[in-house]
Amino acid sequence: MEWLIKESGFDKGKIELNGNKFLIGNGYMGYRGTMEEFSKEQLVACNLSDLYDKVGDKWREPVNAPNGLFTRLYCNGELLSVLSSDIDHHEQELNIRNSTHRRYTKFINSSGIKVEVRAERFVSLYNLHLICMKYSFKASESCDVVIETGIDGQVWDINGPHLINLETYQREDNCIFHAITNENKNSLAVAERIEVSFGNEVYNSNSYNSFREISSNIEVDKEYTFIKYVSVFKDRDEVEDCVSAAIKSNISAVNLGYDKLFEMNKELWDQRWNDIDVEIEGDDYSQLALRYSIYHLMIIAPTHTDKTSIPARGLSGQVYKGAIFWDTEIFMLPFFLNTKPEIAKNLIKYRCNTLDGARRKAADYGYRGAFYAWESQDTGDDACTYFNVTDVFTGRPMRTYFRDKQVHISADVAYAIWQYYLATGDESILVEGGAETIIECARFFYSYAYFNMDKNRYEVLDVTGPDEYHERVNNNAYTSIMVKYTLEAALSAIKLLKNKYEEEYISLNLAIKFEREVDNFKDMLEKLYIPSPDKETNIIEQFDGYERLENISLEKLKERIIDPNEYLGGGNGLATTTKILKQADVVLVLNLFKDRYSEEVKRSNWEYYEPQTEHGSSLSACVYALLAADLDKVDWAYKYFLKTATIDLTGDSKQYVGTLYIGGTHPASNGGAWMTAVLGFGGVKASEGQITMSPKLPESWTSLKFRVVHYGQKYSVSITKNQITIKADNINQKSNEFIISGKKLICNPGQIIEIGY
């Protein structure tokens, strides 16, 4: 039962939230948890990865495919819909073990006929283009039934419509919908085919819909079932003819049949869970929330391509422009690195593949090197606008400095690449663009930084750190420490290439002339100013002048709020002139560099900044959880863990900033939940062939089991209150070193280690 998310009864107010909560997906597409009879007003969406479009001067955003699952059932001419019909019973269910969505509804029509509808759907892992659905119904009285089913081309768009030149027709038993995108004229096709054994079928179409009407007089209490196969192709998938490819995909689906496809999908998901599952004993709620978090990471993971990465709202819709933020590198990557490094590599390579976009952005602002997009889409050009929030008091757009001042994004990318290398030992990433990317990021920072002649040091000025309530600050601790790491990584990468990949070293230097930067990087690394812990208080000032800001409690600050949706940051925001933070900033960097700071420093800063943090970002809670675990503040860690892990279950997150809708799933929090469980409570720290573990389980957890992969070697770990058991997979090729309670242990292939802690 820890695999089922279920909701009974129908509540119109939850349509939006449940669309997110019951999302299914396979990395290629996400299909929202909406009812088959819904349309765009209920935010039905088959959200596609790696296809973006821009209309006029509106935001560029991802394209939603036409809805191939569209199905409407009429009983004696009367539409049955949870939106308008009387309902005797309604249930919606998501099986997160295999990403299967089910609905069951017992309608009562106006003449008292009870019609039960069941529908089951999944997005195939076997064929990423394929969505399958089984739709069944039966009635308490014999009646005339009409089913409209096919493709609904009127899709949810925030800044659309994105599709033009719509074509709807039937071909080889398929309903076809073909269109191209407005901006780049990308071709997109949906083919839908059904298996049905009752009624008369008549094809129908209009400019937006390609569908069938199936008419039948049905018998009392007899269950009628039909199957739908929907295939989605876009020309960016490197197919010549999207329509033919979709038809072919459907033929293959029909040949395998629904049950076989369902089984194959289940099997593939079972294989996945072998590597990714985390088992918690003693706390069912945490267990469910954590698995649900892992589920959400997996349904949006690009297993098939390195041309895209994971957007901040996953594949739940067009919110945040379907753009990839630093969320992926800092909050999601650790999960993949430690469980599915091949997916981590795709995420990393996406950044290498969009390096030119980052170069364009840097050049546009007058810098050298690579300034990554704050909001990255297919090309790596920045989709972020300069006015991101609407002022609730004047209705005017508000200038924010996300795009031009959150320079830490380039450091986050470089950090992620180097983390991948440290966790996998996989040098190929460096040769295949990783080193170039890191060097270009370092080059950007060299050109961005200034030298303070008076203090003989480099400074990183005029930046916005993770705490976006304080824009355009100088010497932000998070940013500067990350910049330093970028310089270190760049020099290390250069050294590694030089020593091991001479040819690549030479050709890369020919291409980007990095040798001339080496002395620059070394000089900057040596003289870069890093805000350091105050000698008396241990506090690292978040940025120059932070200590001079108004010292006010979060509670008092909130009393000043006039409008519940007012933005606390920006030019005149309530938090801007105070010490109140949007999210972890210093605490985040202490968490990333746990080993570089003393426990006292980490403790002092956690305790100092925690009461000042508003957690206006869903990225914040897990950071406090992680460092709390490190500091043995297990109760605090548990509190923040729950906040993080349940965000998409409860829907308890900000839905609006100013007048802007920001709802959707929260994969960064999902990643944070996994990090807190495994890296926090499990106390796992892995780097360069060495895995340290110092567990600190929450009181209610009697055991914690998970898998971890390091340097390509896989392990099953089981932790109880006083013992750690590590089992190396039999097929491991090499050994890694484990450090537990100060002891070094080698864990050879197939070996089991049991040790108290």
- Binding residues for substrate are 326-327, 582-583
Q: Which of 159, 215, 447, 720 is the binder for a second copy (CB under 8 A)?
A: 447
How many residues are given for the chain? 757
* Comparison of 392 and 621: residue with beta carbon closer to a second copy: 392
* Comparison of 574 and 623: residue with beta carbon closer to a second copy: 574
* Comparison of 572 and 687: residue with beta carbon closer to a second copy: 572
Report yes or no: 662 and 684 within 8 Å, Cβ to Cβ.
no
The SS3 assignment for 209 reads strand
Report yes or no: 681 and 278 within 8 Å, Cβ to Cβ.
no
Among 367, 340, 537, CA closest to 440: 367
Beta partners for 178?
Answer: 167, 189
Among 595, 596, 600, CA closest to 534: 600
* x/- letters, 491..520, toward a second copy (CB under 8 A): -----------------------------x
Contacts of 471 (CB under 8 A, 6+ apart): 400, 401, 405, 464, 569, 570, 576
Say how many residues touch a second copy, by CB under 8 A. Answer: 34
526: left (phi over 0), alpha (psi -120 to 50) or beta: alpha
Q: Which of 450, 522, 598, 600 is the binder for a second copy (CB under 8 A)?
A: 450
Residue span binding a second copy (CB under 8 A) among the ranges 98-106, 260-268, 421-429, 570-578:
570-578
The SS3 assignment for 303 reads coil
The C-alpha torsion from 461 through 462 and 466 to 468, rounded to 10°, is 160
* Comparison of 393 and 661: residue with beta carbon closer to a second copy: 393
Closest approach of a second copy to the CB of residue 485, in Å: 20
* Comparison of 10 and 546: residue with beta carbon closer to a second copy: 546
* C-alpha triplet 657, 661, 667: angle, nearest 5°: 90
The SS3 assignment for 117 reads strand
The SS3 assignment for 619 reads coil
Q: Which of 184, 577, 703, 720 is the binder for a second copy (CB under 8 A)?
A: 577
Q: Which of 203, 285, 451, 593 is the binder for a second copy (CB under 8 A)?
A: 451
* Comparison of 399 and 727: residue with beta carbon closer to a second copy: 399
Tell me the C-alpha distance between 57 and 342, whole Å.
Answer: 37
Closest approach of a second copy to the CB of residue 534, in Å: 15
Q: What are phi and psi of 91, to 5 degrees?
A: -140, 145
Q: Is 536 labeled as catalytic in the residue annotation? A: no
Closest approach of a second copy to the CB of residue 545, in Å: 9
Closest approach of a second copy to the CB of residue 521, in Å: 11
Side by side, the strands of the sheet bearing 163-171 are: 4-8, 86-95, 100-108, 114-123, 130-139, 224-234, 187-196, 174-181, 163-171
Q: Which of 159, 244, 252, 576 is the binder for a second copy (CB under 8 A)?
A: 576
DSSP states of 418-478 as a string? HHHHHHH--THHIIIIIHHHHHHHHHHHHHH-EEETTTTEEE--SB--S-TTS-SBSS-HH
**Which residue ranges are tagged as binding site?**
326-327, 582-583
* x/- letters, 154..183, toward a second copy (CB under 8 A): ------------------------------
Q: Which of 560, 596, 654, 734 is the binder for a second copy (CB under 8 A)?
A: 560
Q: Which of 326, 446, 478, 638 is the binder for a second copy (CB under 8 A)?
A: 446
Q: Which of 1, 510, 511, 562 is the binder for a second copy (CB under 8 A)?
A: 562
Strand 713-720 vs strand 703-710: parallel, antiparallel, or unpaired? antiparallel
Tell me the C-alpha distance between 84 and 76, whole Å.
Answer: 15
Closest approach of a second copy to the CB of residue 365, in Å: 9
Report yes or no: 549 and 580 within 8 Å, Cβ to Cβ.
no
Report yes or no: 101 and 22 within 8 Å, Cβ to Cβ.
yes
Residue span binding a second copy (CB under 8 A) among the ranges 55-63, 253-261, 385-393, 693-701:
385-393
Q: Which of 14, 89, 114, 368 is the binder for a second copy (CB under 8 A)?
A: 368
Q: Does 570 bind a second copy (CB under 8 A)?
A: yes
Q: Which two tokens stand for residue 463?
A: 């930046």
Out of 78, 120, 192, 468, pick the active-site residue. 468
Report yes or no: 36 and 148 within 8 Å, Cβ to Cβ.
no
Closest approach of a second copy to the CB of residue 414, in Å: 18
* x/- letters, 391..420, toward a second copy (CB under 8 A): x-xx-x-xx---------------------
* Comparison of 108 and 461: residue with beta carbon closer to a second copy: 461
Instruction: Tell me whether residue 447 is exposed, middle or buried, using C-beta atoms within 10 angstroms of its C-beta: 0 to 12, 13 to 18, 19 or more.
Output: middle
Q: Does 608 bind a second copy (CB under 8 A)?
A: no
Residue 161: cis peptide before it, omega within 30 degrees of 0 = yes
* Comparison of 404 and 648: residue with beta carbon closer to a second copy: 404
* Comparison of 441 and 747: residue with beta carbon closer to a second copy: 441
Residue span binding a second copy (CB under 8 A) among the ranges 136-144, 208-216, 496-504, 574-582:
574-582
* x/- letters, 453..492, toward a second copy (CB under 8 A): xx---xx-xx---------x-x------------------
Tell me the C-alpha distance between 680 and 678, whole Å.
Answer: 6
Report yes or no: 103 and 9 within 8 Å, Cβ to Cβ.
no
Residue span binding a second copy (CB under 8 A) among the ranges 63-71, 569-577, 726-734, 746-754:
569-577
Chain residues that interact with a second copy, rule: CB under 8 A = 368, 386-387, 391, 393-394, 396, 398-399, 446-447, 449-454, 458-459, 461-462, 472, 474, 520, 524, 560, 562, 570-574, 576-577
Active site residues: 468
